[in-house]
Amino acid sequence: MDSSSKENIQLFCKNSVQPVERPSFKTEYSSSEEKQPCCGELKLFLGALSFVYFAKALAEGYLKSTITQIERRFEIPSSLVGVIDGSFEIGNLLVITFVSYFGARLHRPKIIGAGCLVMGVGTLLVALPQFFMGQYRYERYPSSSNSTLRTSPCILESNSQLPTSVMEKSQSAINNGCVQTVAIIGPIFGFLLGSLCAKLYVDIGFVNLDHITITPKDPQWVGAWWLGYLIAGVISLLAAVPFWCLPKSLLKPQSKEDSNSSTEKSKFIMDDHTEYQTPHREKAKMMDMARDFLPSLRSLFGNPVYFLYLCASTVQFNSLFGMVTYKPKYIEQQYGQSSSKANFVIGLINIPAVALGIFSGGIVMKKFKISVCGAAKIYLGSSVVGYLLFLSLFALGCENSDVAGLTVSYQGTKPVSSHERALFSDCNSRCKCSETEWEPMCGENGITYTSACLAGCQSSTRSGKTIIFHNCTCVGIATLMSGNSSGMVGRCQKDNECPKMFLYFLVISVITSYTLSLGGIPGYILLLRCIKPQLKSFALGIYTLAIRVFAGIPAPVYFGVLIDTSCLKWGFKRCGSRGSCRLYDSNAFRHIYLGLTTLLGIMSIFLSIVVLFTLKKNYVSKHRIFRTKRERTMVTSRIRKENYTSDHLLQSNCWPGKETQL
């Protein structure tokens, strides 16, 4: 269902059985009468297919936007989140090759409809864990509406009690542009939906929100990640309805016949003069197709341009999938933005830039009638310029937040040599604190402490949802004060230059997204023109399969594994096992995320250069030889024709009585 929109339109109803004989001639009235229902059903199919692509793209975009929410909710590392993200592609692998090859013989609308039902049910199942697990518990001090209530975060060693930290939670070319455009719009709505759900508390509808003491800006906040999956699942189920009303095939109006159309043209509309085929004959043809499967596969991989372009695309999509999957997380950790804002800027700025780039690439190919060699150059050029721009993002990062014991010492000096052991200092040695807690507190000195207890705070007051800690001995040491100091719940803001860096990051990111996407349509044209017409749909299926197997599934996993190596502070589950990362080393995160993306991009550029040289060597030279032979043949034929004409005139002049005798 998902290999390509063009494949779906082309192979919808190829060679359907027609048991009723047609008359040998048709009146103009009957021809125009048949034209309207055919076009109406074709438009219905195109609209339904576009809606399916929108639903699928919406679900994919929303999945990317909930990465950090799922990570916090279930206390899992980025590597496991990558496995979850990659598993979204696994369902297609079981059927995509065979559907792309045998789909022409089956009832394609019902196949698509069944796929939509499965996709809708699967999307709904993703939200199911929310209803079976208990309410979300975040680490926070007891809440009270009494503003004069005072509690002591720092429990002295002489006391036998532990600090309370548990809180209640909760046309073929025109049609294919049409469908691909809708597929681009889907992720926009997916990320915007993710931004909206991230503002809603995870247990909304199950708990009293007045008792929730954290806000969306709090690092422990988890949004209503499950709500978007319910919406996306319902949309997918609705997308399946029209396909059960469509016939297996449509009759091609006589006025629309085009004798020059190739096998790559639409097979959705059938010719009026299609011969009657018995079930036995169709079965025999299916057996022939099955026997031709392996030879067709060998023919595809024996095509050097197709194989090299497949490798280049696979490497580049590794770069793009990994980058897009963890981009919201990168914005959150690098620039201190909330999940809601990260999803909002991606959905409203980045993805429209991608859509505009794809559209611009198609316009350039159509207006200037770019050759296949020119398409390869545009594909290569867009990659080179795009990744050169991407390199500038290395200089647009923010420094690590000042976190006592992790990035700075308790005296406020940089750096520190150890992590967990450095959480304890003389200023909090009398407090019986847990080093596994993550209840960040911002001191008035601008340094973040992993908990108020480790900051040595002796008391706290609460007004509304704001908790203020007092008599924090560690804060006083860092500010070189003899007295005690205070702090507030939450992490301190990044330095003053970080918001400006975030703005520059958005501008460069938009330009890079536009530039890289310019090569999308030229690359697609290159793919279609380098293979035999009868293998185009099969080639698209293999191409999509390779992208999903070797890029869509592994890229989020190994990106997540490497990103986890930059973690400074891990959270822990109640059972004692390691949970999700609470704090990352910003510099290490930036170098891993941007470096891995750039490295894969450079590898794809080198492969694209090989594609261009191979294309010139194997195809352009052959085209020149063929054109030279054709010109020679045309010249020879013209000379023979001229000789024949002159001889004919000569004979007529020498035999004046020929016409009379005849």
Three-state SS string over 355-392 comes to HHHHHHHHHHHHHCCCCHHHHHHHHHHHHHHHHHHHHH
| Cα 620 versus chain centre, distance | 35
With a CB cutoff of 8 Å and minimum separation 6, the contacts of 453 are: 153, 154, 155, 163, 428, 431, 432, 433, 434, 437, 439
Place of tokens 């006083």: 476
User: Residue 270: its pLDDT value, please?
Assistant: 43
* pLDDT confidence band for 111 (50 / 70 / 90): confident
| Mean pLDDT value across residues 96-106 | 65
Residue 50: predicted pLDDT = 87
pLDDT beyond 70 at 102: no
pLDDT at 470: 87
Most confidently modeled range among 134-138, 391-395, 436-440, 471-475: 391-395
The reported pLDDT for the residue numbered 473 is 86
- pLDDT classification of 180: cutoffs 50, 70, 90: low
pLDDT on residue 144: 43
* Spatial contact of 453 and 433, defined as CB atoms under 8 Å apart: yes
CB 460 within 8 A of CB 142: no
Query: Looking at the predicted structure, is the pLDDT value of residue 136 above 70?
Result: yes
The answer to which of 258-272, 443-457, 534-548, 573-587 has the lowest mean pLDDT is 258-272
Q: Give the three-class secondary structure for 9.
A: helix
In this structure, are residues 515 and 279 in contact, taking their beta carbons and an 8 Å threshold?
no
Q: What is the pLDDT of residues 182-238, one digit of tens each?
A: 777 889 999 999 999 999 999 998 888 888 888 888 878 899 999 999 999 999 999
Residue 610 has pLDDT above 80, yes or no: yes
pLDDT confidence of residue 572? 83
pLDDT at 552 over 60: yes
pTM for the whole structure: 0.79
pLDDT band at 165 (very low <50, low <70, confident <90, very high): very low
Most confident option among 39-43, 418-422, 433-437, 587-591:
587-591
Q: How confident is the model at residue 268 (pLDDT cuts 50, 70, 90)?
A: very low
pLDDT digit string (tens) for 419-441?
555 788 888 888 888 888 888 88
Q: What are the backbone angles phi and psi of residue 582, rounded to the nearest 5°? A: -95, -35
